[in-house]
Amino acid sequence: MLKFQSPTGMHDLFEPELEYFAKVEKICQSMADFYGFQRIQTPVLEQTELFEKGTGLTTDIVEKEMYSLRTKGGDSLTLRPEWTPGIARAYMQHGLSAWPKPVKLWYFGPCFRHERPQAGRLRQFHQFGFEFLGVQDPMVDALTIQIFYNILRGLGFRNLVVDLNSIGCSQCRPYFKKMLNNYLRGKQSSLCGDCKRRFKKNPLRILDCKEEKCDRIKKSAPQMVDHLCKECHDHFKPLLEYLDELNLPYNLNPYLVRGLDYYTKTVFEIREDSETGASQGSLAGGGRYDGLVKLLGGKDTPACGAAGGVERIVNLLKAGKPSSPRSPEDNEGTAAVFLAQVGDLAKKKSLKLLEELRAAKIRVGEGLHKDSLTSQMRLADKMQAKYVLILGQKEALDDEIIIREMKNGEQRNVPLAKVIQELKKRL
């Protein structure tokens, strides 16, 4: 018998499997290049308090799953169980709040959780993720969902569905928690063991429980989306309109809460349904975490992001669940085109146009989170764009768009349906 073996739940990776990892990383890199994300690599070890405060003391991760140690100097450190608190810490530590908004960061690397090893669950696993920091606009939520949807589609997954919910904010969530507590109080004895514990600490997590006995109880529970404050309602409604404009298939799931304390407003998961209609489970998920940076000692900073589990995706690719994985060609060079928009209708149409430009492999800069044309033109100038596409309210109504040549200021209107063809000629 061998004296030394890899630790339980931590595997050696060899070339055939690493090729799948490389495919996932390559498509992430391609998406990051197109949307203008910078890669970040945070330390594998962080201060334990960062996760206790950021991820949340009542989460399963902090309560049961963290690998923590005390150094010879007496510091308490933890192996990274997830990326987002480390991203928020780096954002504050390195003054990223001074960068143009939104700050766009992406990552790919290992995480560690002391879980019971089983199919799809490892103690050392890998995640990829994309984070927007500094912008409140629901357009950012839609872009986050679009990015992950595109990555999974690019890897060959087909019957994808976005499960979506809003879990409110610090204004409306306490009232909803009180309502939920009142509903669950007489039903505690029928809950599973974990949910009996959750009832005292975080009753929202009960809505996410997959146990059959809890499933029956939560079906009659009040729903957060019916009790959102005006700010949360006004954030969620345009998000749904953006997803409709993008023709992304979504399902409003009132029981989706995600398991981390920092989430506010939007939460989502993307899953693949089989041809029989059975779900293959979540492939990626995330949401908005507007309070995290402030919670960790920084300034009030809206943020939105998501992550995907690499091993889960690779296992499905190896099992042949989706079609053969394919990677898009890497986009080279800087963007010669900038997309500017003014008005609600124009913003909605811009989202769809941005996706069409990506599919046509035309790299494009954008300022979709900005409403002022002046500030967008300033950004286009800073990016040294050769052409700016301007979509105003009138153009959106007429299904046209303005192409302006930045060097001489010449511009002309072209039908939206022909803008890609026109750009290809010019580029």
Domains, the chain, in order of start with CATH, read 15-171+228-318 (3.30.930.10), 173-218 (no CATH), 337-426 (3.40.50.800)
SS3 readout for 245-276: HCCCCEEECCCCCCCCCCCEEEEEEEEEECCC
d(C-alpha 101, C-alpha 289), whole Å: 16
Task: Decide if pLDDT at 277 tops 60.
Answer: no
Beta strands in 10-99 (DSSP E): 38-39, 45-47, 68-70, 76-79
Task: Decide if pLDDT at 330 tops 80.
Answer: no
Q: What is the pTM of this model?
A: 0.86
Buried b (16+ CB within 10 A) or exposed e, 315-326: ebbeeeebeebe
What are the tokens at 356?
A: 């069409």
User: In this predicted model, what pLDDT tens digit does every residue of 31-68 receive, in sequence order?
Assistant: 999 999 999 999 999 999 999 999 998 888 998 999 99
d(C-alpha 268, C-alpha 242), whole Å: 15
d(C-alpha 371, C-alpha 85), whole Å: 30
Task: Decide if pLDDT at 327 tops 50.
Answer: no
Confidence band for 211, pLDDT divided at 50, 70 and 90: confident
> Following DSSP, what letter does each residue of 374-390 receive, concatenated?
HHHHHHHHHTT-SEEEE
289, 304 contact by CB (below 8 A): yes
Helix (H, G, I), strand (E, B) or coil at 194: helix
Q: What is the pLDDT of residue 419?
A: 94
- Mean pLDDT of all residues belonging to the chain: 90
- Which sign does the torsion angle of CA 48, 49, 54, 60 carry? positive
Task: Decide if pLDDT at 105 tops 80.
Answer: yes
Q: What is the pLDDT of residue 189?
A: 85
d(C-alpha 338, C-alpha 400), whole Å: 16
Q: What is the pLDDT of residue 321?
A: 52
Q: What is the pLDDT of residue 79?
A: 97
Mean predicted confidence (pLDDT) in 289-309: 97
Instruction: Please give the backbone phi and psi of residue 132, each rounded to the nearest 5 degrees, phi first.
Output: -110, 125
Q: What is the pLDDT of residue 279?
A: 54
138, 239 contact by CB (below 8 A): yes
User: In this predicted model, what pLDDT tens digit does every residue of 352-399 receive, in sequence order?
Assistant: 999 999 999 998 998 888 889 999 999 898 888 999 999 999 999 999
Mean predicted confidence (pLDDT) in 248-277: 88
Give Cα separations from 406 to 52, 189, 364, 402 (angstroms). Answer: 50, 68, 14, 12
Task: Decide if pLDDT at 328 tops 70.
Answer: no
Beta strands in 28-119 (DSSP E): 38-39, 45-47, 68-70, 76-79, 103-112
d(C-alpha 376, C-alpha 392), whole Å: 12
Q: What is the pLDDT of residue 65?
A: 94
Give the whole-number percent of the chain exceeding pLDDT 90. Answer: 72
| Separation of CA 22 from chain center | 21
User: In this predicted model, what pLDDT tens digit does every residue of 117-128 receive, in sequence order?
Assistant: 776 689 999 999
User: In this predicted model, what pLDDT tens digit does every residue of 129-184 receive, in sequence order?
Assistant: 999 999 999 999 999 999 999 999 999 998 999 999 999 999 999 999 999 999 99
Distance spanning both ends of the chain, measured CA to CA: 64
